[in-house]
Amino acid sequence: MHYITIISLQDIMTEETKSSEESIEEEKVEEITEDDENNTENLGNIEFEDADSKPELPLDYEKKLGKEEEEEEEEPFVQRNIKKAITYLDGKSRRVVTGTLIVFSISIINFITWNFTHWENLQYLGTFLSFILLLACAAGILISYNVYNSDLVKNNDIRLSGLILSSGSVLATIFFMLYEVSQNPCLLELSEKNCDFVKVDSLRSVTTIAVYSGSLGVVMLIYGLGLLKKPLVPYALAIAFGGSLILTIVLLMSAFEWIEESVWLLLLPLLFLGMGLAGLHHRRYQLAGFVIGCYISGLAGIGWLIEPNLASGGFLGGGLPMTGSGLLFILRRTDREAREKMLNEAQELLDTGYPSRSLDASNRLMRRAQQDGVLMQDARMWLSKARALTGHREYERSITYYSMALEIEEQNENIWFEKGNLHRKLKQWNEAENCFQSATEISYTFGDAWLKLSQTKERLEKLDEAEDNYHIALELECDHGLAYLGLGRAQSKLGKVKDALKSVEKSIASMNDEIRGL
């Protein structure tokens, strides 16, 4: 009686294994069949090919299973909306920079037109555009979060000081201008013959000091937010000082005749600007120069209503770093968004059945990441190449790139799982066991990893451990039909015939339920 039961069990498992092997094949490669002897001698040598032959390969890492979401305290209104703005601007950095440069170009044309026509409305338009440049300064800081994906080392004290200096300088300038205009309405007139020139000079001084302190505050702010590395701070300070010094020289030229002919005085601030732009561009931090330039141009441009030379000095001192850094940022495409686009391209080519083209895209991606200095910071660069090599059936090389990805993200269970699947295809059972074991240690509730670990242990004839692992897999989210079938196979090898029959019955019932659910 037992002999007939075992034969029937073997027939069921053999039939199920054959149907599964015929229906699943990774990327339409040639079907690899096992020796006929291994299929007929005993049940223990049957390899049940299942979902691991066609694994899901998400580009973005899935959220780790089993980690309960902690209840987070509600964020303040301002912080919550800033995060929403950063999310909204994700992928729009080039548009923001391009739009700002267009606004600045309109400001320049508007200023030139005003010099010939002296239309009062053009002054108000120029002031409005200057406020837009200040808003572009804030937008430049927000898009920096999306562009630079390295770890942000923040300094709250410096960040707060920079925020106070930068925003305080703007508010102080606007308040002082409004107060003086309310006391001296003639300041808004084209002719200032009846005005107190002391008031005009004081406005010039206040605006100039505000530009110096405010640009310094912007540098402190972006450094405190972690958007500027410490070795690059001197370059940013050089841009802030050079742009502010140009504004000072332009204002002095309008006040003193001997300085008006001393154009050579501009050589020193231009030297600072050149040094700062070169340093930031070399390190791929063009947005820092762009933000500083927007701030200087916007803050000085507000004073156009009172003193046109403030606008001309601000457009010159702030326009040079803003246009230079902005154009370099647009042309070089070294930001994170460009790498994301290449990453998606490589995966789409692989998903649509073009492994060779996907491999080429992955090679370009890695070269770009190396140029940007983030190759050893983002494991997805290596994963893209590993998956492309897998699609190209270069499995040995693919394992090397999976190992490099794990050097960067050792605690990512999905990478261990994918690498384990690759070892299974190469029949490297010990290596596969180590990978699946690591995946389950990182995420205990990773049901698919437990299932593959059980199947691998069964291959290695570790039947007691395999049985225990099958039971764990059945408690988690995985293919319960395969798990029950594997459990029955392991139990039959251990001589637990009745338990094996029950497991097989549950496997058949589970598979029927799945079929009915389709």
Residue 163 confidence (pLDDT) = 92
- Of the candidates 48, 232, 242, 60, the one whose C-alpha atom is nearest the C-alpha of residue 153 is 232
- Of the candidates 489, 417, 177, 218, the one whose C-alpha atom is nearest the C-alpha of residue 304 is 177
Residue 419 confidence (pLDDT) = 94
The CATH superfamily holding the domain 336-517 is Tetratricopeptide repeat domain (1.25.40.10)
Q: What is the mean pLDDT of residues 158-182?
A: 87
How many other CB atoms are there within 10 angstroms of residue 143's CB atom?
26
Residue 259 confidence (pLDDT) = 66
Q: What is the mean pLDDT of residues 276-295?
A: 87
Report CA Rg, the chain: 33
Looking from the CA of 71 toward its CB, the CA atoms found within 13 Å total 0
Start-to-end CA distance of the chain, whole Å, equals 37
Residue 281 confidence (pLDDT) = 80
Taking 80 as the threshold, does the pLDDT of residue 60 lie above it? no
Taking 90 as the threshold, does the pLDDT of residue 10 lie above it? no
Residue pointed to by tokens 């040094």: 275
**Percentage, residues of the chain above pLDDT 90:** 37
Of the pLDDT bands very low, low, confident and very high (cuts 50, 70, 90), residue 188 is low
- Report the distance separating Cα 292 and Cα 287, nearest Å: 9
> Does the predicted TM-score (pTM) go above 0.85?
no
Residue 212 confidence (pLDDT) = 92
Domain positions in the chain? 77-332, 336-517
3-state secondary structure of 24: coil
- Report the distance separating Cα 371 and Cα 364, nearest Å: 11
